[in-house]
C-alpha cells in the first residue's frame, strides 16, 4: 500500500517541486532577457563608435584629395578672372573646372564640384524693414505678422532700431536672460533664438520648415554691395520690384528658354545688358553682374567613404564675413574683455612672427603671397546649404 501511494503521488506530481522548477525557469528567462538587452546596447554603441572611427579615417584619407581639388578649382577660376576681369556665371565656361585643368583623381575615387553664388542672394546685413515686410507679404504672410517678423529681425541685427509694430522682445524672461545683440546674424542657427522668427521658421519640434528654407535661399549672411543678377535668384528679382513678366524675361535669358532658346543659357555681361532685356532705359539699382562671394563644395567619394569640403571665397575682397563684435555693448568695454582682446592680439602677433621667421628667416618680414581669393568660410563634412534655383548652380563630376 505504501508503494502504491508513492507511485500515485509521483504520478500526480509534486506541487512544491513544480513551483521551484517554475521559479528557476523564470529567473533564467529574466537573466537571458537582461543579457540580450545589454548585448544589444553594447552592439549599438560599438556600431556608433565604429562609424565615428570610420568617418575620421575617411576624413584623414580623403582630405588631401579635397584640398587639392579646391586649389585646382581656384586656379582655374583665376585663369578666367585674368582673361575676363571677373567671374559672372558658370556659363562662361568654368563650370567644369577639373576637366578644364585635366585633373584626374586617384583611381577609384569620384570627385564632385558644385558652385553656389552667395552674392547672387540678397545681402542680409543690408536689408531694410520695408523690404522685409514686402517680401514676407509676397510669401502670403499677413501684414501685421510680416511687420512683427521684420521688426524682430531688425531689432536683432540693427543698433538702436525702433520697431514699427507692437513687437516687444522678451529675452530677459528666458531661462538664461540675454539682450538683443544688435549686430548682423552670423549663423543661421541664430534664427531659433529670435522671438517671432522662432515660431515662424521652425515647427513645434524645432525643425526648420519651408519658410526657413525660403528665407535662407533668398538671403546671404555675407556682406556685399550688389547682388549678382546672373544667379537668377527670385528674392533678388522681388527686391527690384519687377513684375512677373519682367522676371520671366530675365529667367528665359539666363536659362535659354522662350525667345532666347536659340542662344542657349546666357549671362549678363554688364548692367546695360540687363536694361536691354527688360526693355528699360536704365538698369535697376542694387544689382550687378559679377560674382563677389562664391561657395565651392567639393565632395570626394571612395567606396563607402565620403568627405565634403565647403568653402566660400571672396573675389577681389568685394565680400566680407560678418565677424565684428556688437559695438554698443558694455561688455566690450569691460576690463575682462579688454584683457582678453590684448591676450588674443599678443597670441596672433606671436604666431605671425613665428610664421614669418619660418618662411623668410626674419620674424618682422611677412611674405607676400598675392593670393587672389579671400577665404570667408571653410567647413568640413558639414550640412550643405539650402539649394539655390537651377540657374545658380553648376556641377562637375569627374570619374575615373
Q: Which residue has the cell 570626394?
A: 300
pLDDT score recorded for residue 386: 45
In degrees and rounded to multiples of 5, residue 281 shows phi and psi of -75, -45
CA distance 170 to 195: 8
Burial level of 130, CB count in 10 A (0-12/13-18/19+)?
exposed
CA distance 243 to 260: 19
In this structure, of 56-65, 70-79, 336-345, the range with the lowest mean pLDDT score is: 336-345
Taking a C-beta distance cutoff of 8 angstroms, is the pair 389, 238 a contact? no
CA distance 297 to 112: 8
Which tens digits make up the pLDDT trace of 125-170?
999 999 999 999 989 999 999 999 999 999 999 999 999 999 988 8
Q: Where are the domains of the chain?
A: 122-288
> Quick one: which of 136, 72, 137 has its CA closest to 99?
72
Banded pLDDT at 397 (limits 50, 70, 90): very low
CA distance 332 to 290: 37
**H helices within the chain, ranges in order?**
2-12, 15-84, 97-101, 129-138, 143-157, 197-201, 210-218, 234-239, 244-255, 271-278, 335-360
Q: Which residue has the cell 517554475?
A: 22
In this structure, of 21-25, 80-84, 87-91, 296-300, the range with the lowest mean pLDDT score is: 21-25
**CA-CA-CA-CA torsion sign (149, 155, 158, 160):** positive
**pTM, rounded to two decimals:** 0.74
Amino acid at each position: 500500500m505504501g508503494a502504491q501511494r508513492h507511485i500515485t503521488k509521483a504520478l500526480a506530481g509534486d506541487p512544491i517541486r513544480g513551483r521551484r522548477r517554475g521559479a528557476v525557469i523564470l529567473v533564467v528567462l529574466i537573466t537571458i532577457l537582461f543579457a540580450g538587452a545589454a548585448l544589444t546596447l553594447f552592439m549599438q554603441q560599438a556600431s556608433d563608435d565604429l562609424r565615428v572611427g570610420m568617418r575620421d579615417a575617411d576624413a584623414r584619407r580623403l582630405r588631401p584629395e579635397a584640398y587639392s581639388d579646391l586649389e585646382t578649382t581656384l586656379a582655374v577660376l583665376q585663369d578666367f578672372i585674368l582673361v575676363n576681369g571677373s567671374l559672372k556665371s558658370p556659363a562662361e565656361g568654368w563650370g567644369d573646372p577639373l576637366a578644364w585643368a585635366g585633373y584626374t583623381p586617384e583611381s577609384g575615387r569620384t570627385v564632385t564640384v558644385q558652385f553656389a553664388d552667395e552674392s547672387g542672394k540678397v545681402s542680409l546685413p543690408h536689408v531694410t524693414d520695408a523690404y522685409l515686410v514686402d517680401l514676407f507679404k509676397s510669401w502670403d504672410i499677413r501684414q501685421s505678422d510680416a511687420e512683427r517678423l521684420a521688426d524682430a529681425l531688425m531689432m536683432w541685427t540693427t543698433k538702436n532700431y525702433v520697431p514699427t509694430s507692437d513687437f516687444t522682445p522678451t529675452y530677459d524672461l528666458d531661462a538664461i536672460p540675454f539682450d538683443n545683440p544688435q549686430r548682423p546674424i552670423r549663423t543661421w542657427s541664430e534664427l531659433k533664438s529670435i522671438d517671432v522668427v522662432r515660431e515662424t521658421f521652425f515647427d513645434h519640434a524645432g525643425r526648420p520648415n519651408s519658410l526657413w528654407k525660403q528665407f535662407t535661399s533668398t538671403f546671404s549672411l555675407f556682406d556685399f554691395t550688389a547682388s549678382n543678377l546672373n544667379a537668377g535668384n527670385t528674392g533678388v528679382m522681388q527686391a527690384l520690384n519687377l513684375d512677373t513678366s519682367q522676371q520671366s524675361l530675365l529667367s528665359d535669358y539666363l536659362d535659354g528658354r522662350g525667345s532666347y532658346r536659340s542662344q542657349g543659357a546666357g549671362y549678363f555681361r554688364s548692367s546695360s545688358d540687363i536694361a536691354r532685356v527688360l526693355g528699360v532705359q536704365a538698369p535697376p539699382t542694387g544689382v550687378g553682374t559679377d560674382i563677389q562671394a562664391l561657395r565651392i563644395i567639393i565632395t570626394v567619394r571612395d567606396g563607402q567613404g565620403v568627405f565634403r569640403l565647403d568653402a566660400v571665397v571672396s573675389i577681389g575682397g568685394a565680400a566680407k564675413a560678418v565677424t565684428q563684435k556688437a559695438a554698443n555693448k558694455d561688455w566690450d568695454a569691460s576690463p575682462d574683455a579688454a584683457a582678453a582682446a590684448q591676450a588674443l592680439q599678443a597670441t596672433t602677433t606671436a604666431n605671425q612672427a613665428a610664421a614669418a621667421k619660418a618662411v623668410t628667416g626674419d620674424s618682422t618680414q611677412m611674405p607676400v603671397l598675392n593670393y587672389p581669393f579671400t577665404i570667408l568660410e571653410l567647413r568640413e563634412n558639414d550640412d550643405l546649404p539650402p539649394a539655390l534655383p537651377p540657374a545658380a548652380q553648376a556641377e562637375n563630376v569627374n570619374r575615373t
